[in-house]
Structure 1
Amino acid sequence: MNGKKITSMIFKTLNYTNEIKKKSTNGHGGRRQLFKSLRHSLRIPASQPKKLEWFDERSHLNLIWLPETGTIKLDDYPKEQREARLAKIADEAEAPTVVKNNRAELLEARTKLKNKIKNASKKETDEGSILAFQNILNVQGIADTEQLLSDLEQFDIKRKSQKLDTAKQYLDCHNEIERGPKPFIKKNQAVIQEAFFKFPSKNEVSGISAAGRIDLIKDFYQQVFPEYPIKFIVLHGDEDVDLKDHSDHPHLFISTKNSKTGRYDLRETQINKVNSYLIKHRPGTELIGGKPDFLESQLLFGYLQDMFYAYTNNRLLKNTPYYAKKNEKTEGHMNRLRYINGEAKKPKSERAFNLYTLAQERKAKTEQKAQLAQQNRIKAEAAAENAIERHRLAEQATVEERELAEAYRRKAENYEGAISKMRADQAKAEADHSKIKAELKLFRSNMSELIDGITNWLEETFAARRKDIQEKCLERARKAYERVRENDKSEDSRFTKKAEAQVDTQLAELELYDNELLDIPPAKEIRRKIIRP
């Protein structure tokens, strides 16, 4: 970095689907949210904004890039043409979901036939016949029906004729689907993606032109995703409260429709590009799956951020005194996501939860104390036996020796008293050990319920599912917390404190998102529902 000033940067994307949604969830919006964002970006609101969103007197600083004109002032782009462009993009968001044919019926029939073949293969014991069934079940593209049936027919299987007929029906149905027209776009699949970046105003990144900011995000998308046409890019220079250009930022709207294949597959292409980036620049990093879940989707976006950061440093900031780098909180969040994603793929019994590790450490310490008490008791018994033997010999001696023997006897009695005390201490330590083991077992069970409740609530919230299911998840977490608190017999309430800390850790994920955009409650509000005063 050669002494450059470190600056953070905001880079976000939002996918808009062809559905009508009430709110944005998990980085996705519907036609309603797209329409609202387009009007905001083009400065043609349907009604007067309730809150101040920009300064009208600085509108001359806004720019727009169009494929047919390049970069011009937004004020020079008539509002009638803005409305027309908005309508054209909105129309694309209503693209047909499937072609008109019997594809749905064929898919349903293939599923039923496939289940029959699966059940038939489970009854086979010969490895060759099992492999022949699996080859039929795993077929991709146009199947070679004659060869696959011939491979199966050579084996001695029960009800061969019936199973061969079922396999043929399945392969014929599969080939009809493969040869037929495919869906233009799946339901709830993205048709438009919005992306924007900016430097936080507080970092005071200066000397970067407005046109340079537009060119950066335009060149990044055109170079990395050249098959997807950019609809337009608008730069907002009228939103800085300090009336400076530090936080001027561009919004890019790009179609997810591949110009070569006609498929809406930008997300799949982004997964492939990110995986190629990981293989080249981060060997050993787990790749993103073809159908990423919630955690993998966050990792996908994080890696896309890394690619954009690198592109920014090599292009826009190359000859400036600045160097863009993720802040520690963002990078820490990525590391935590990688860890959680890895743990989530393990069986529950193999997950390394921090609280469970702490409980194991406490258990080990208790066992160590019990073992030390046992060793001390053995030493005391040996010393007592030695004292008793000396007492016996002393009684056989003279009167003077008897006096000495009496002293030894008293000492032996002291040893016996010490032994009794040590035995009592050992019994108490063993009882404490058993109690702690029971508390730890109960604590682990309740903590698992608590974490599962919060995790399920997060998944339900980001997936915008039924409200009553979300509330049940929170109630499950609250009851688990109450059980932890009621069964916490420790003097310093350490189990209760650990449970509260875990709630805060889980809910800290919410602070990384724009709650207003995602329409999710603040973390403090959810915390009060789980940890009631």
Structure 2
Amino acid sequence: MRLTTIFFAFVNYAFNDKGRRAGKATLFHSLRLTEEMALKQKYLTKSQKLMRSKNEIEIEWDSSLSHTNLIDTPDGIVPLDNFSQEQREQMMFEILQPETMKSADARKLGQDKARSKNKLKEWIKAGHFCKKGIELVDEIFSSDSLINVHHAAYRLNLLDMKRKAQRVEQLVNYIKAHNALLDKPNSLNSVNFEELLFKIPINNQIGTDIVSNEEMMHAMKSFLQRYYPDYPIKLMVLHHDERLPGEVTGGHVHAFISGKNALTHQYDLRLAHIRNVNAYLFGREGVDADLLSEKGRLNREQAGDVAKHMQEMFYEFVNEHLFHPKNINAAFHPESVRKSEKRKQMRREAKLAKRDRAFNYHARLLENVNSLEIQLKSFDGKISERKQVLDDVESKIINVSESYDALTIKHDALEQQCIQQEERLSDIEIVVQQNQRRLSKNMRLEQEVDERLSTKIKEEKKIDASILLKQQKHTELDSAIAEKQSILERLSVMTTKALYPVHKMLEHMNNRLILKGRAGAAEFMQHIIKAFSADLPAELRKTLIKITSNTGDTELENALTRKDSQINDSLDM
């Protein structure tokens, strides 16, 4: 599996002046605000001297590659160039949110609210409020929505208490401060929005042909939707113009999420970080996990742990959903790399403007120019070498040119000889062609004679074969006739022999009929019974019995019937 490193970081921008200046600066960079209208907007400080010029801004990226920058919209990922400078500026102001009050004003309102609340609590503790007054004050203290100051003052005025005007005044002061701070962060140090950055360093040589810019944006969006679903994504852009024109690496995602929880309306993004880290640690280590306090009060070391574990969460997420399906694994830099002087310098310069960093797009351009200059010098040396070779070749050409004339004369003489030889060859070819034509004609005649002879031979063979076939059929017919005559003769002999016993029986039966009732009839009856044997077919025996029945010789009929039964019984056994 291919190994890579990634860069993942997040920065919070508060509501205070410093946070708004820094947030505005990063949004200028992220939205590529370069038009004169946008440049008139002062950021970083109010001082004009800190205002960057157009050239200073454009040196952070290559404007000719702006078409490769992307932005995530409700309609999908589209080029950032689809939006005008005015539209981008409007996006910036929507993310920053209008500055409703100055830090000093917010601080004063907070102090007034706390002072009035403490005073009212002291009076309640001292027993200066009646029961209904205490209930009214507790109701107001527990409210997190807009309070009608006039209605509250009217209700308190109805109650009987000492120094009523003073009590009402403090309650009104509390309500006014409460309403002024409503839907505002508890402190201007609260997070207004957070920027998250995801980049695959160019030294990993993983370009858009392996991991596309859109896939990087989808991975970042999926990560935020999974771990921070209640904190809306205000902006997500991908820059791919901080590179050299021929490169396909360097794409990186800037995502901006709101610091305000969309469900609770509280600015508690820091607490969400801690909750996510605790859930991650508990899932990894179980009950042995060293969880952080979810009250939000962390020391420097604990805050560093939050950042560290968030990076671990992001590494695991992109490995599972982006890199591993592509046979890539993202891993942290070795300790030696993290502690190198280069990394220390990069961390020190992280808060500087990009133009002031040692490792930025402008520095890469300079490195590329230096590299090109070195290549140019190398080419100059090679050109000098090629020039020397060219001089040598030209000298050889001069020498060759001198012998060229002599070779030309010799060539002309040889060419004349070739012409003469070609003429002789042409005459020979004419004679050869004539001979070939005569030979071809003779060959065609021989071929025609051969074809005619071949046809006649084939016809004679067919006639011979037909005669032979007819002779064979004639012989076969003679044999068949002789065989059938022999069969007829045998059948005649066999028929005579087979019918002889029957003939004798019929003859005896006739004689018995003639002698019926006289001497000698019984003797013929014995001859008939003796001849009536099993050698006769069953059908013939039945026929003889039927003939006897027709003659009216009952005695003979009964005798033959009994013998026929005996014959049948013996055959069945």
What band does the TM-score fall into relative to the shorter chain?
0.3 to 0.5
Task: Pick the structure with greater CA Rg.
Answer: 2
The TM-score, its normalising length taken from structure 2, stands at 0.44
Task: Pick the structure with more helix per residue.
Answer: 2
